[in-house]
Structure 1
Amino acid sequence: MTTHIAIAPGHASSMNDVMRRLEHYISIPNQRNSITALSRDAGFDLKRALAAYGKAEPLANRFAQPLQFLLGYAAWTSVNDHHRIVDGVAGHSLGEFLAIAIAGSVSWPDSLRLVSRCGMVMDAVHRIRPGAMSALLGFNVTETSQLCADALGAVPGALGIANVNLADQIVVSGDLRCVEELERRAQTREGKRVVRLGIAGAAHSSIYAGHDPMHATLRRISIAHPRVPLYLSTRSGRISGADDVRLALAEILTHRVDWVRTLGSIAAEHSDFSLELIFPDRGMTSILRRAGYSNRAV
Protein backbone atom coordinates (compact mmCIF):
# COMPACT_ATOMS: atom_id res chain seq x y z
CA MET A 1 0.00 0.00 0.00
CA THR A 2 1.31 3.43 -0.95
CA THR A 3 1.97 5.90 1.86
CA HIS A 4 0.92 9.43 0.90
CA ILE A 5 3.13 12.19 2.34
CA ALA A 6 2.19 15.86 1.95
CA ILE A 7 5.10 18.28 1.52
CA ALA A 8 4.95 21.85 2.89
CA PRO A 9 7.58 23.88 0.99
CA GLY A 10 9.88 26.31 2.75
CA HIS A 11 10.56 29.93 1.80
CA ALA A 12 8.93 30.34 -1.62
CA SER A 13 11.21 30.40 -4.62
CA SER A 14 8.92 33.11 -6.05
CA MET A 15 6.83 35.47 -3.96
CA ASN A 16 5.09 36.49 -7.18
CA ASP A 17 3.81 32.92 -7.53
CA VAL A 18 2.65 32.91 -3.91
CA MET A 19 0.70 36.13 -4.37
CA ARG A 20 -0.81 35.06 -7.67
CA ARG A 21 -2.08 31.81 -6.17
CA LEU A 22 -3.26 33.43 -2.94
CA GLU A 23 -5.14 36.12 -4.87
CA HIS A 24 -6.86 33.33 -6.82
CA TYR A 25 -8.15 31.79 -3.58
CA ILE A 26 -9.17 35.21 -2.23
CA SER A 27 -11.25 35.75 -5.38
CA ILE A 28 -13.42 32.74 -4.42
CA PRO A 29 -16.04 33.97 -1.90
CA ASN A 30 -16.00 31.03 0.53
CA GLN A 31 -12.21 30.85 0.44
CA ARG A 32 -11.92 34.60 0.97
CA ASN A 33 -14.19 34.37 3.99
CA SER A 34 -12.16 31.49 5.43
CA ILE A 35 -8.81 33.22 4.88
CA THR A 36 -10.13 36.48 6.31
CA ALA A 37 -11.59 34.74 9.38
CA LEU A 38 -8.33 32.90 10.09
CA SER A 39 -6.33 36.13 9.76
CA ARG A 40 -8.74 37.92 12.10
CA ASP A 41 -8.63 35.10 14.69
CA ALA A 42 -4.81 35.17 14.66
CA GLY A 43 -4.58 38.98 14.80
CA PHE A 44 -2.87 39.17 11.40
CA ASP A 45 -3.55 42.31 9.34
CA LEU A 46 -4.23 40.67 5.97
CA LYS A 47 -5.28 43.89 4.27
CA ARG A 48 -2.06 45.65 5.26
CA ALA A 49 0.06 42.68 4.17
CA LEU A 50 -1.59 42.55 0.75
CA ALA A 51 -1.12 46.30 0.33
CA ALA A 52 2.58 46.01 1.21
CA TYR A 53 3.24 43.56 -1.63
CA GLY A 54 5.15 45.21 -4.47
CA LYS A 55 6.23 48.26 -2.45
CA ALA A 56 9.51 46.81 -1.20
CA GLU A 57 11.83 44.05 -2.37
CA PRO A 58 12.06 41.67 -0.68
CA LEU A 59 8.70 41.86 1.06
CA ALA A 60 9.14 42.13 4.83
CA ASN A 61 9.11 38.73 6.56
CA ARG A 62 6.25 39.81 8.86
CA PHE A 63 4.09 39.94 5.72
CA ALA A 64 5.70 37.40 3.38
CA GLN A 65 5.81 34.46 5.77
CA PRO A 66 2.17 34.66 6.98
CA LEU A 67 0.98 35.20 3.39
CA GLN A 68 2.74 32.03 2.31
CA PHE A 69 1.21 30.21 5.28
CA LEU A 70 -2.24 31.45 4.25
CA LEU A 71 -1.63 30.14 0.73
CA GLY A 72 -0.86 26.74 2.23
CA TYR A 73 -4.00 26.94 4.36
CA ALA A 74 -6.14 27.88 1.37
CA ALA A 75 -4.66 25.13 -0.80
CA TRP A 76 -5.15 22.54 1.93
CA THR A 77 -8.71 23.50 2.83
CA SER A 78 -9.98 24.39 -0.66
CA VAL A 79 -13.34 23.03 -1.72
CA ASN A 80 -11.85 20.44 -4.04
CA ASP A 81 -9.21 19.25 -1.61
CA HIS A 82 -10.78 19.24 1.85
CA HIS A 83 -11.45 15.49 1.74
CA ARG A 84 -7.78 14.78 1.00
CA ILE A 85 -6.35 11.88 2.98
CA VAL A 86 -2.63 11.72 3.72
CA ASP A 87 -0.58 9.33 5.82
CA GLY A 88 1.93 11.94 6.93
CA VAL A 89 3.20 15.47 6.37
CA ALA A 90 6.71 16.89 6.05
CA GLY A 91 7.72 20.53 6.50
CA HIS A 92 10.76 22.22 5.01
CA SER A 93 11.98 25.31 6.91
CA LEU A 94 9.10 27.84 6.94
CA GLY A 95 6.83 25.01 5.83
CA GLU A 96 7.14 23.46 9.28
CA PHE A 97 4.47 25.84 10.61
CA LEU A 98 2.08 24.63 7.92
CA ALA A 99 2.99 20.97 8.43
CA ILE A 100 2.41 21.21 12.18
CA ALA A 101 -1.05 22.71 11.61
CA ILE A 102 -1.98 20.03 9.07
CA ALA A 103 -0.80 17.32 11.47
CA GLY A 104 -3.18 18.75 14.10
CA SER A 105 -0.47 19.58 16.65
CA VAL A 106 -1.26 23.30 16.71
CA SER A 107 -4.49 25.04 15.73
CA TRP A 108 -4.59 27.04 12.51
CA PRO A 109 -4.88 30.43 14.30
CA ASP A 110 -2.01 29.58 16.68
CA SER A 111 0.13 28.38 13.77
CA LEU A 112 -0.46 31.68 11.99
CA ARG A 113 0.45 33.51 15.21
CA LEU A 114 3.70 31.55 15.34
CA VAL A 115 4.68 32.21 11.75
CA SER A 116 3.83 35.89 12.22
CA ARG A 117 6.07 35.98 15.28
CA CYS A 118 8.87 34.33 13.31
CA GLY A 119 8.62 36.97 10.58
CA MET A 120 8.54 39.85 13.06
CA VAL A 121 11.60 38.53 14.90
CA MET A 122 13.55 38.19 11.65
CA ASP A 123 12.63 41.75 10.63
CA ALA A 124 13.51 43.21 14.04
CA VAL A 125 16.90 41.50 14.21
CA HIS A 126 17.65 42.35 10.58
CA ARG A 127 17.23 46.07 11.31
CA ILE A 128 19.95 46.07 13.95
CA ARG A 129 22.07 43.21 12.63
CA PRO A 130 21.65 42.79 8.85
CA GLY A 131 21.77 39.19 7.72
CA ALA A 132 21.60 37.27 4.47
CA MET A 133 21.28 33.79 3.00
CA SER A 134 23.03 32.41 -0.05
CA ALA A 135 22.70 29.12 -1.92
CA LEU A 136 25.90 27.35 -2.96
CA LEU A 137 25.26 25.15 -5.98
CA GLY A 138 27.78 22.40 -6.66
CA PHE A 139 29.34 22.60 -3.18
CA ASN A 140 29.08 19.79 -0.65
CA VAL A 141 28.84 20.13 3.14
CA THR A 142 32.59 19.74 3.69
CA GLU A 143 33.48 22.36 1.11
CA THR A 144 30.86 24.75 2.44
CA SER A 145 32.01 24.31 6.04
CA GLN A 146 35.54 25.18 4.98
CA LEU A 147 34.32 28.25 3.11
CA CYS A 148 32.47 29.37 6.23
CA ALA A 149 35.59 28.92 8.35
CA ASP A 150 37.76 30.82 5.86
CA ALA A 151 35.24 33.66 5.58
CA LEU A 152 34.95 33.96 9.38
CA GLY A 153 38.73 34.09 9.59
CA ALA A 154 38.64 37.25 7.52
CA VAL A 155 35.35 38.76 8.74
CA PRO A 156 34.35 37.76 12.29
CA GLY A 157 30.66 37.29 13.00
CA ALA A 158 27.96 34.67 12.55
CA LEU A 159 28.02 32.36 9.55
CA GLY A 160 27.14 28.72 9.01
CA ILE A 161 25.22 26.14 7.05
CA ALA A 162 21.47 26.83 7.22
CA ASN A 163 20.05 24.28 4.78
CA VAL A 164 21.25 20.99 3.34
CA ASN A 165 18.71 20.73 0.53
CA LEU A 166 20.75 18.32 -1.58
CA ALA A 167 24.20 16.83 -1.25
CA ASP A 168 25.43 19.61 -3.58
CA GLN A 169 22.93 22.37 -2.80
CA ILE A 170 23.78 24.02 0.49
CA VAL A 171 22.45 27.29 1.88
CA VAL A 172 24.55 29.44 4.21
CA SER A 173 23.19 32.07 6.58
CA GLY A 174 24.63 34.73 8.86
CA ASP A 175 25.78 38.33 9.18
CA LEU A 176 25.60 40.18 5.87
CA ARG A 177 29.32 41.01 5.75
CA CYS A 178 30.24 37.39 6.48
CA VAL A 179 27.93 36.09 3.75
CA GLU A 180 29.39 38.63 1.30
CA GLU A 181 32.92 37.46 2.14
CA LEU A 182 31.93 33.82 1.62
CA GLU A 183 30.27 34.68 -1.71
CA ARG A 184 33.43 36.43 -2.85
CA ARG A 185 35.50 33.35 -2.08
CA ALA A 186 32.99 30.88 -3.52
CA GLN A 187 32.64 32.72 -6.82
CA THR A 188 36.21 31.85 -7.71
CA ARG A 189 35.38 28.12 -7.85
CA GLU A 190 35.05 26.95 -11.44
CA GLY A 191 31.85 25.14 -12.42
CA LYS A 192 29.99 26.18 -9.27
CA ARG A 193 27.44 28.90 -8.59
CA VAL A 194 26.42 31.17 -5.75
CA VAL A 195 22.89 32.59 -5.59
CA ARG A 196 21.81 35.19 -3.01
CA LEU A 197 18.34 34.38 -1.71
CA GLY A 198 15.63 37.03 -1.71
CA ILE A 199 15.14 36.93 2.05
CA ALA A 200 15.79 39.80 4.46
CA GLY A 201 17.53 38.12 7.34
CA ALA A 202 19.48 35.03 8.31
CA ALA A 203 17.11 32.16 9.08
CA HIS A 204 18.52 29.02 10.73
CA SER A 205 21.57 30.81 12.08
CA SER A 206 23.22 31.56 15.39
CA ILE A 207 22.22 35.23 15.07
CA TYR A 208 19.07 34.36 17.05
CA ALA A 209 20.75 32.12 19.62
CA GLY A 210 20.17 33.12 23.23
CA HIS A 211 17.18 35.35 22.45
CA ASP A 212 14.47 32.65 22.78
CA PRO A 213 12.48 34.48 20.07
CA MET A 214 9.46 32.17 19.96
CA HIS A 215 8.97 31.79 23.73
CA ALA A 216 6.41 34.55 24.24
CA THR A 217 4.06 33.04 21.67
CA LEU A 218 4.72 29.39 22.52
CA ARG A 219 3.81 29.80 26.19
CA ARG A 220 0.31 30.94 25.19
CA ILE A 221 -0.63 28.08 22.86
CA SER A 222 -1.59 24.43 23.19
CA ILE A 223 0.38 21.73 21.40
CA ALA A 224 -0.95 18.23 20.87
CA HIS A 225 0.52 14.96 19.67
CA PRO A 226 0.50 14.90 15.83
CA ARG A 227 -2.51 13.06 14.42
CA VAL A 228 -0.45 11.78 11.49
CA PRO A 229 3.30 11.13 11.21
CA LEU A 230 5.08 14.50 11.16
CA TYR A 231 8.53 15.03 9.64
CA LEU A 232 10.35 18.31 10.32
CA SER A 233 13.48 19.39 8.48
CA THR A 234 15.03 21.19 11.46
CA ARG A 235 14.83 17.93 13.41
CA SER A 236 16.02 15.87 10.41
CA GLY A 237 13.19 13.39 10.58
CA ARG A 238 10.04 12.22 12.32
CA ILE A 239 8.69 13.96 15.43
CA SER A 240 7.57 11.66 18.22
CA GLY A 241 5.28 13.84 20.33
CA ALA A 242 4.00 17.22 21.50
CA ASP A 243 7.15 18.05 23.50
CA ASP A 244 9.28 17.55 20.39
CA VAL A 245 6.96 19.79 18.38
CA ARG A 246 7.32 22.54 21.00
CA LEU A 247 11.10 22.19 20.99
CA ALA A 248 11.22 22.29 17.18
CA LEU A 249 9.14 25.48 17.13
CA ALA A 250 11.30 27.10 19.82
CA GLU A 251 14.46 26.42 17.82
CA ILE A 252 13.18 26.89 14.26
CA LEU A 253 15.18 30.09 13.72
CA THR A 254 18.47 28.65 14.96
CA HIS A 255 18.46 25.00 13.85
CA ARG A 256 19.84 23.82 10.54
CA VAL A 257 17.48 22.39 7.93
CA ASP A 258 18.56 18.93 6.76
CA TRP A 259 16.16 18.03 3.99
CA VAL A 260 18.38 15.20 2.74
CA ARG A 261 18.08 13.36 6.06
CA THR A 262 14.39 14.19 6.37
CA LEU A 263 13.56 12.62 3.01
CA GLY A 264 15.85 9.74 3.92
CA SER A 265 13.83 9.15 7.10
CA ILE A 266 10.63 8.92 5.08
CA ALA A 267 12.22 6.50 2.62
CA ALA A 268 13.60 4.35 5.44
CA GLU A 269 10.15 4.00 7.04
CA HIS A 270 8.15 3.39 3.89
CA SER A 271 9.08 1.09 1.02
CA ASP A 272 6.31 2.56 -1.14
CA PHE A 273 5.37 6.22 -0.81
CA SER A 274 4.27 9.23 -2.83
CA LEU A 275 5.01 12.90 -2.23
CA GLU A 276 2.41 15.61 -2.79
CA LEU A 277 3.26 19.31 -2.73
CA ILE A 278 0.59 21.22 -0.81
CA PHE A 279 0.99 24.05 -3.30
CA PRO A 280 3.27 24.28 -6.35
CA ASP A 281 6.77 25.60 -5.74
CA ARG A 282 9.49 25.59 -8.37
CA GLY A 283 12.35 25.36 -5.90
CA MET A 284 10.97 22.36 -4.04
CA THR A 285 9.95 20.66 -7.28
CA SER A 286 13.55 20.99 -8.50
CA ILE A 287 14.95 19.66 -5.22
CA LEU A 288 12.70 16.59 -5.29
CA ARG A 289 13.51 15.93 -8.94
CA ARG A 290 17.28 16.19 -8.42
CA ALA A 291 17.04 14.03 -5.28
CA GLY A 292 15.46 11.28 -7.36
CA TYR A 293 11.94 11.63 -5.96
CA SER A 294 10.28 13.15 -9.03
CA ASN A 295 8.62 9.87 -9.89
CA ARG A 296 7.01 9.94 -6.43
CA ALA A 297 5.77 13.54 -6.57
CA VAL A 298 2.15 14.18 -7.51
Structure 2
Amino acid sequence: MKAYIFPGQGAQFSGMGKELYENEEAKAMFEKANEIIGFRISDIMFSGTDEELKETKVTQPAIFLHSVIQAKALGADFKPDMVAGHSLGEFSALVAASALSFEDGLKLVIARANAMQKACELQPSTMAAILGLADDVVERICGEIDEVVVAANYNCPGQIVISGSIAGVDLACQKLTEAGAKRALKLNVGGAFHSPLMEPARAELQDAIEKVDIAAPICPIYQNVDPRPNTDPKKIKENLITQLTGAVKWTQTIERMIADGAMEFVEVGPGNVLQGLVRKVSREVQTSSATSV
Protein backbone atom coordinates (compact mmCIF):
# COMPACT_ATOMS: atom_id res chain seq x y z
CA MET A 1 0.00 0.00 0.00
CA LYS A 2 1.17 3.52 -0.81
CA ALA A 3 0.92 6.46 1.62
CA TYR A 4 1.31 10.07 0.51
CA ILE A 5 2.56 12.54 3.12
CA PHE A 6 2.58 16.34 3.02
CA PRO A 7 5.04 18.65 4.84
CA GLY A 8 4.33 21.58 7.12
CA GLN A 9 5.90 24.92 7.96
CA GLY A 10 9.68 25.04 7.67
CA ALA A 11 9.90 23.17 4.35
CA GLN A 12 9.93 26.35 2.26
CA PHE A 13 12.88 27.42 0.08
CA SER A 14 13.50 30.04 -2.61
CA GLY A 15 12.62 28.61 -6.01
CA MET A 16 9.98 26.25 -4.64
CA GLY A 17 7.41 25.20 -7.23
CA LYS A 18 9.06 27.03 -10.12
CA GLU A 19 9.40 23.89 -12.23
CA LEU A 20 5.69 23.17 -11.79
CA TYR A 21 4.70 26.51 -13.35
CA GLU A 22 5.68 25.19 -16.82
CA ASN A 23 2.56 23.00 -16.78
CA GLU A 24 -0.54 24.84 -18.02
CA GLU A 25 -2.89 23.44 -15.35
CA ALA A 26 -0.37 24.20 -12.62
CA LYS A 27 0.12 27.72 -13.99
CA ALA A 28 -3.64 28.30 -13.82
CA MET A 29 -3.69 27.13 -10.19
CA PHE A 30 -0.81 29.47 -9.26
CA GLU A 31 -2.56 32.40 -10.95
CA LYS A 32 -5.84 31.57 -9.21
CA ALA A 33 -3.95 31.56 -5.90
CA ASN A 34 -2.38 34.94 -6.66
CA GLU A 35 -5.88 36.29 -7.25
CA ILE A 36 -7.32 34.82 -4.02
CA ILE A 37 -4.38 35.92 -1.86
CA GLY A 38 -4.22 39.43 -3.32
CA PHE A 39 -0.52 39.47 -4.18
CA ARG A 40 1.76 37.44 -6.43
CA ILE A 41 2.83 34.74 -4.02
CA SER A 42 4.17 32.76 -6.98
CA ASP A 43 6.83 35.43 -7.57
CA ILE A 44 7.97 35.19 -3.94
CA MET A 45 8.03 31.40 -4.13
CA PHE A 46 10.08 31.36 -7.32
CA SER A 47 12.57 34.15 -6.58
CA GLY A 48 11.93 35.64 -3.13
CA THR A 49 14.46 35.86 -0.33
CA ASP A 50 14.49 33.53 2.67
CA GLU A 51 13.23 36.42 4.80
CA GLU A 52 10.26 37.02 2.49
CA LEU A 53 9.42 33.32 2.53
CA LYS A 54 9.47 33.29 6.34
CA GLU A 55 6.58 35.77 6.57
CA THR A 56 3.58 33.92 7.97
CA LYS A 57 1.25 35.24 5.26
CA VAL A 58 3.62 33.72 2.68
CA THR A 59 5.03 30.57 4.29
CA GLN A 60 1.87 28.58 4.92
CA PRO A 61 0.10 29.30 1.60
CA ALA A 62 3.38 28.73 -0.30
CA ILE A 63 3.93 25.26 1.15
CA PHE A 64 0.26 24.41 0.64
CA LEU A 65 0.40 25.53 -3.01
CA HIS A 66 3.58 23.63 -3.79
CA SER A 67 2.20 20.45 -2.22
CA VAL A 68 -1.27 20.55 -3.76
CA ILE A 69 -0.09 21.54 -7.24
CA GLN A 70 2.62 18.87 -7.19
CA ALA A 71 0.03 16.25 -6.25
CA LYS A 72 -2.18 17.48 -9.10
CA ALA A 73 0.78 17.27 -11.50
CA LEU A 74 1.13 13.56 -10.71
CA GLY A 75 -2.15 13.03 -12.54
CA ALA A 76 -3.14 9.39 -12.87
CA ASP A 77 -0.01 8.40 -10.92
CA PHE A 78 -1.52 9.90 -7.76
CA LYS A 79 -3.22 6.80 -6.36
CA PRO A 80 -3.07 7.02 -2.57
CA ASP A 81 -4.18 4.23 -0.31
CA MET A 82 -3.86 6.64 2.62
CA VAL A 83 -2.69 10.23 3.23
CA ALA A 84 -1.42 12.34 6.11
CA GLY A 85 0.05 15.81 6.55
CA HIS A 86 2.31 17.30 9.21
CA SER A 87 0.48 20.26 10.81
CA LEU A 88 -0.19 22.64 7.89
CA GLY A 89 0.31 19.65 5.58
CA GLU A 90 -2.98 18.20 6.76
CA PHE A 91 -4.80 20.82 4.66
CA SER A 92 -2.70 19.86 1.62
CA ALA A 93 -3.53 16.19 2.20
CA LEU A 94 -7.26 16.91 2.37
CA VAL A 95 -7.23 18.84 -0.91
CA ALA A 96 -5.09 16.20 -2.66
CA ALA A 97 -7.52 13.52 -1.43
CA SER A 98 -10.52 15.47 -2.80
CA ALA A 99 -12.07 16.19 0.60
CA LEU A 100 -11.56 19.96 0.21
CA SER A 101 -11.66 22.08 -2.92
CA PHE A 102 -8.45 23.87 -3.91
CA GLU A 103 -10.04 27.29 -3.33
CA ASP A 104 -11.53 26.41 0.06
CA GLY A 105 -8.29 24.78 1.16
CA LEU A 106 -6.28 27.86 0.24
CA LYS A 107 -8.73 30.20 1.98
CA LEU A 108 -8.56 28.09 5.16
CA VAL A 109 -4.76 28.11 5.07
CA ILE A 110 -4.76 31.91 4.71
CA ALA A 111 -7.24 32.22 7.60
CA ARG A 112 -5.11 29.82 9.66
CA ALA A 113 -1.92 31.79 9.03
CA ASN A 114 -3.57 35.09 9.96
CA ALA A 115 -5.21 33.65 13.09
CA MET A 116 -1.93 32.11 14.26
CA GLN A 117 -0.07 35.37 13.70
CA LYS A 118 -2.59 37.25 15.83
CA ALA A 119 -2.36 34.65 18.59
CA CYS A 120 1.44 34.93 18.53
CA GLU A 121 1.20 38.68 19.01
CA LEU A 122 -1.05 38.33 22.06
CA GLN A 123 1.62 36.66 24.19
CA PRO A 124 5.36 36.11 23.63
CA SER A 125 5.88 32.38 23.25
CA THR A 126 8.17 29.88 21.61
CA MET A 127 9.04 26.23 20.90
CA ALA A 128 12.07 23.98 21.40
CA ALA A 129 13.25 20.66 20.00
CA ILE A 130 14.10 18.02 22.59
CA LEU A 131 16.36 15.19 21.45
CA GLY A 132 17.16 11.91 23.13
CA LEU A 133 14.40 11.54 25.73
CA ALA A 134 11.43 9.21 25.88
CA ASP A 135 8.01 10.76 25.22
CA ASP A 136 6.70 10.02 28.72
CA VAL A 137 9.70 11.72 30.36
CA VAL A 138 9.13 14.89 28.33
CA GLU A 139 5.41 14.85 29.10
CA ARG A 140 5.99 14.33 32.83
CA ILE A 141 8.52 17.13 33.20
CA CYS A 142 6.43 19.59 31.17
CA GLY A 143 3.44 18.68 33.33
CA GLU A 144 5.36 19.53 36.52
CA ILE A 145 6.15 23.09 35.40
CA ASP A 146 3.92 25.90 36.64
CA GLU A 147 3.89 27.63 33.25
CA VAL A 148 2.27 26.82 29.90
CA VAL A 149 4.52 24.24 28.22
CA VAL A 150 3.42 21.05 26.46
CA ALA A 151 4.68 18.37 24.08
CA ALA A 152 3.54 19.75 20.72
CA ASN A 153 5.14 17.67 17.95
CA TYR A 154 5.91 13.96 18.31
CA ASN A 155 8.14 13.87 15.23
CA CYS A 156 9.88 10.52 15.67
CA PRO A 157 11.26 8.41 18.55
CA GLY A 158 13.65 10.57 20.54
CA GLN A 159 12.57 13.84 18.89
CA ILE A 160 9.80 15.92 20.44
CA VAL A 161 9.09 19.62 20.06
CA ILE A 162 7.73 21.41 23.13
CA SER A 163 5.67 24.58 22.96
CA GLY A 164 4.55 27.27 25.41
CA SER A 165 5.38 30.53 27.13
CA ILE A 166 8.99 31.70 26.91
CA ALA A 167 9.47 31.16 30.64
CA GLY A 168 7.86 27.72 30.45
CA VAL A 169 9.97 26.55 27.51
CA ASP A 170 13.18 27.93 29.06
CA LEU A 171 12.52 26.12 32.33
CA ALA A 172 11.52 22.92 30.55
CA CYS A 173 14.72 22.99 28.46
CA GLN A 174 16.75 23.28 31.66
CA LYS A 175 14.94 20.44 33.42
CA LEU A 176 14.91 18.19 30.35
CA THR A 177 18.65 18.68 29.88
CA GLU A 178 19.17 17.75 33.52
CA ALA A 179 17.03 14.65 32.91
CA GLY A 180 19.38 13.50 30.15
CA ALA A 181 18.23 15.13 26.90
CA LYS A 182 21.01 15.11 24.30
CA ARG A 183 19.91 18.54 23.12
CA ALA A 184 17.28 21.13 24.00
CA LEU A 185 17.29 23.59 21.12
CA LYS A 186 14.99 26.61 21.01
CA LEU A 187 13.47 27.13 17.57
CA ASN A 188 13.30 30.31 15.54
CA VAL A 189 9.50 30.50 15.46
CA GLY A 190 7.05 33.26 16.19
CA GLY A 191 4.91 31.51 18.76
CA ALA A 192 3.74 28.45 20.66
CA PHE A 193 2.07 26.43 17.92
CA HIS A 194 0.02 23.37 18.92
CA SER A 195 -0.29 24.55 22.52
CA PRO A 196 -3.07 26.07 24.66
CA LEU A 197 -1.70 29.52 23.74
CA MET A 198 -3.17 29.00 20.25
CA GLU A 199 -6.72 28.97 21.67
CA PRO A 200 -7.58 32.42 20.17
CA ALA A 201 -6.50 31.13 16.75
CA ARG A 202 -8.47 27.90 17.19
CA ALA A 203 -11.63 29.83 18.04
CA GLU A 204 -11.18 32.11 15.03
CA LEU A 205 -10.44 29.28 12.60
CA GLN A 206 -13.32 27.16 13.87
CA ASP A 207 -15.86 29.49 12.29
CA ALA A 208 -14.10 29.32 8.92
CA ILE A 209 -13.79 25.53 9.01
CA GLU A 210 -17.43 25.03 9.94
CA LYS A 211 -18.52 27.08 6.91
CA VAL A 212 -16.67 25.06 4.25
CA ASP A 213 -17.85 21.87 2.62
CA ILE A 214 -15.74 18.83 3.38
CA ALA A 215 -16.47 15.64 1.45
CA ALA A 216 -15.40 12.08 2.17
CA PRO A 217 -11.79 11.77 0.91
CA ILE A 218 -10.87 9.26 -1.80
CA CYS A 219 -8.85 7.34 0.81
CA PRO A 220 -8.46 7.42 4.60
CA ILE A 221 -6.67 10.41 6.11
CA TYR A 222 -4.67 10.04 9.32
CA GLN A 223 -4.96 13.34 11.19
CA ASN A 224 -2.52 14.94 13.60
CA VAL A 225 -4.67 14.83 16.71
CA ASP A 226 -6.26 11.45 15.95
CA PRO A 227 -3.81 9.27 13.99
CA ARG A 228 -6.32 6.67 12.85
CA PRO A 229 -7.85 6.11 9.40
CA ASN A 230 -10.75 8.48 8.91
CA THR A 231 -13.14 9.27 6.06
CA ASP A 232 -16.00 10.90 7.97
CA PRO A 233 -16.34 14.62 7.00
CA LYS A 234 -17.79 15.57 10.39
CA LYS A 235 -14.90 13.98 12.27
CA ILE A 236 -12.38 15.49 9.84
CA LYS A 237 -13.73 18.97 10.65
CA GLU A 238 -13.58 18.31 14.40
CA ASN A 239 -9.96 17.19 14.12
CA LEU A 240 -9.00 20.20 12.00
CA ILE A 241 -10.48 22.55 14.60
CA THR A 242 -8.64 20.79 17.44
CA GLN A 243 -5.34 20.76 15.54
CA LEU A 244 -4.16 24.28 16.42
CA THR A 245 -4.12 23.57 20.15
CA GLY A 246 -3.54 19.81 19.93
CA ALA A 247 -0.29 17.92 19.46
CA VAL A 248 1.01 16.73 16.09
CA LYS A 249 1.21 12.98 16.68
CA TRP A 250 3.43 12.22 13.71
CA THR A 251 5.25 9.26 15.27
CA GLN A 252 1.93 7.65 16.12
CA THR A 253 0.57 8.44 12.64
CA ILE A 254 3.41 6.70 10.82
CA GLU A 255 3.29 3.75 13.24
CA ARG A 256 -0.43 3.32 12.56
CA MET A 257 -0.03 3.68 8.78
CA ILE A 258 2.67 1.00 8.81
CA ALA A 259 0.44 -1.23 10.95
CA ASP A 260 -2.38 -0.67 8.46
CA GLY A 261 -0.23 -1.86 5.56
CA ALA A 262 1.74 1.13 4.26
CA MET A 263 4.76 -0.21 2.37
CA GLU A 264 5.82 2.95 0.57
CA PHE A 265 5.73 6.61 1.68
CA VAL A 266 5.78 9.35 -0.96
CA GLU A 267 6.43 12.91 0.22
CA VAL A 268 4.62 15.53 -1.84
CA GLY A 269 5.71 19.16 -1.49
CA PRO A 270 8.91 21.08 -0.81
CA GLY A 271 11.82 19.25 0.79
CA ASN A 272 12.12 15.73 2.18
CA VAL A 273 12.13 16.23 5.97
CA LEU A 274 9.22 13.86 6.47
CA GLN A 275 11.02 11.02 4.70
CA GLY A 276 13.77 11.23 7.32
CA LEU A 277 11.21 11.05 10.13
CA VAL A 278 9.47 8.11 8.47
CA ARG A 279 12.77 6.19 8.26
CA LYS A 280 13.40 6.72 11.98
CA VAL A 281 9.89 5.59 12.94
CA SER A 282 10.14 2.60 10.61
CA ARG A 283 13.43 1.51 12.19
CA GLU A 284 11.87 1.72 15.63
CA VAL A 285 8.87 -0.32 14.47
CA GLN A 286 11.15 -2.98 12.97
CA THR A 287 13.28 -3.09 16.13
CA SER A 288 10.21 -3.46 18.32
CA SER A 289 8.85 -6.23 16.08
CA ALA A 290 12.15 -8.09 16.16
CA THR A 291 12.37 -7.77 19.94
CA SER A 292 8.85 -9.08 20.47
CA VAL A 293 9.40 -12.18 18.34
Aligned match of 1:124: 118
Contact 1:58 / 1:200 at 8 angstroms: preserved in 2?
Answer: no
CA distance in 2, matches of 1:222, 1:7: 22
CA distance in 2, matches of 1:293, 1:222: 39
Aligned match of 2:290: none
CA distance in 1, matches of 2:283, 2:133: 21
Note closer, same or farther for the CA distance 1:54–1:175 as it changes in structure 2 (3 Å cut).
Answer: farther
| Range that drifts further, 210-219 or 181-190 | 181-190
Aligned match of 1:232: 223
Residue correspondence of structure 1 range 1-298 to structure 2 within 5 A: 3-12=1-10, 14-16=11-13, 19-26=14-21, 30-40=25-35, 43-47=36-40, 50-51=43-44, 53-54=48-49, 56=51, 59-78=54-73, 81-84=74-77, 85-150=79-144, 152-153=145-146, 156=147, 158-188=148-178, 192-209=182-199, 212-270=203-261, 273-279=263-269, 281-292=271-282
CA distance in 2, matches of 1:63, 1:83: 30
Contact 1:10 / 1:93 at 8 angstroms: preserved in 2?
Answer: yes
CA distance in 2, matches of 1:163, 1:125: 19
Q: State the secondary structure of the residue aligned to 1:133.
A: strand
Note closer, same or farther for the CA distance 1:293–1:106 as it changes in structure 2 (3 Å cut).
Answer: farther
CA distance in 2, matches of 1:108, 1:74: 9
- Distance apart, 1:46 and its partner CA: 4.2
Q: State the secondary structure of the residue aligned to 1:199.
A: coil
Q: Deviations over 1:37-79 (max 9, x none)?
A: 1442xx213426855953748823222111100110221122x
CA distance in 1, matches of 2:265, 2:178: 37
Aligned match of 2:291: none
Contact 2:154 / 2:250 at 8 angstroms: preserved in 1?
Answer: yes
- Distance apart, 1:229 and its partner CA: 1.5
Q: Looking at secondary structure, tell me which structure has more helix per residue.
A: 2
TM-score (norm 2): 0.85
Q: Deviations over 1:17-37 (max 9, x none)?
A: xx3222333465653332111
The root-mean-square deviation of aligned C-alpha atoms, in Å, is 2.5
CA distance in 2, matches of 1:252, 1:10: 13
- Distance apart, 1:205 and its partner CA: 0.6
| Range that drifts further, 119-128 or 182-191 | 182-191
CA distance in 2, matches of 1:10, 1:103: 17
- Distance apart, 1:108 and its partner CA: 1.0
Structure 2: which 5+ residue stretches go unaligned? 285-293
Q: Deviations over 1:213-257 (max 9, x none)?
A: 212312321111112121112212211400011101111101111
- Counting matched residue pairs gives 280
Note closer, same or farther for the CA distance 1:277–1:34 as it changes in structure 2 (3 Å cut).
Answer: same
Q: Deviations over 1:134-182 (max 9, x none)?
A: 11111111221233235x33xx3x2101111122111111122322222
Q: Deviations over 1:99-124 (max 9, x none)?
A: 11112111111111111111111111
TM-score (norm 1): 0.84
Note closer, same or farther for the CA distance 1:213–1:281 as it changes in structure 2 (3 Å cut).
Answer: same
- Which amino acid in 2 is paired with 1:93? S
CA distance in 2, matches of 1:109, 1:207: 28
- Distance apart, 1:191 and its partner CA: 6.3
